[in-house]
Amino acid sequence: MAAGIEGETSAARKVLIAEDDANIVESLSFVLGRAGFEVGTALDGDEVLRRLRVEAFDVLVLDLMLPKRNGFEVLKAIKAEPALRALPVLVLTAKGQPQDRRLVESIGAEAFMTKPFSNTDLVDAVRRLVRS
């Protein structure tokens, strides 16, 4: 494996990927799985909240453009719910406008990345959030 992709800091850590594009889900699952993370997926905003309420995850990778409940609404719900608000959230989105970044940061997202993304940068960001 490439340097910087594997590491003991990600061992047994669970990441939930909230993304409705099957190709991106497959790519993220592969990259994060190869880096040693256990990966779960949710294809819409309602499923994200359902899974977070019954399973323990260490990080959420959240797309903003989700069906049923968009990523902004999901993020607001997470940060308003005492049992979930400490969960680190990495927003990974094609909506890279400065106002989108400011909005998700004001709601409480810990990190923001735009698509397309570097695999190494993604893994590094998730690892930083796991450690925080």
4 within a domain of the structure (yes/no)? no
- Measure the CA–CA gap between 27 and 41, rounded to whole angstroms: 12
132 pLDDT band (50/70/90 cuts)? Answer: confident
For 69-114, the pLDDT digits (tens) are: 999 999 999 999 999 999 999 999 998 889 999 999 999 999 999 9
Return the pLDDT at 12: 63
Query: For residue 107, how far is the Cα from the chain centroid?
Result: 15
Q: How many domains does the chain have?
A: 1
pLDDT at 2 over 50: no
**What CATH number is associated with residue 86?**
3.40.50.2300
Q: Quick check: 14 and 57 in contact, CB under 8 A?
A: yes
106 within a domain of the structure (yes/no)? yes
Q: Which domain range does residue 19 map to?
A: 11-119
For 32-48, the pLDDT digits (tens) are: 999 999 999 999 999 99
Beta carbons within 8 Å of 64's beta carbon, 6+ residues apart: 70, 71, 72, 91, 93, 95, 100, 104
pTM here? Answer: 0.89
101 within a domain of the structure (yes/no)? yes
96 within a domain of the structure (yes/no)? yes
**What percent of the chain lies above the pLDDT cut of 70?**
91
pLDDT at 8 over 50: no
Which among 132, 126, 87 has a CA at the least distance from the CA of 7? 126
84 within a domain of the structure (yes/no)? yes
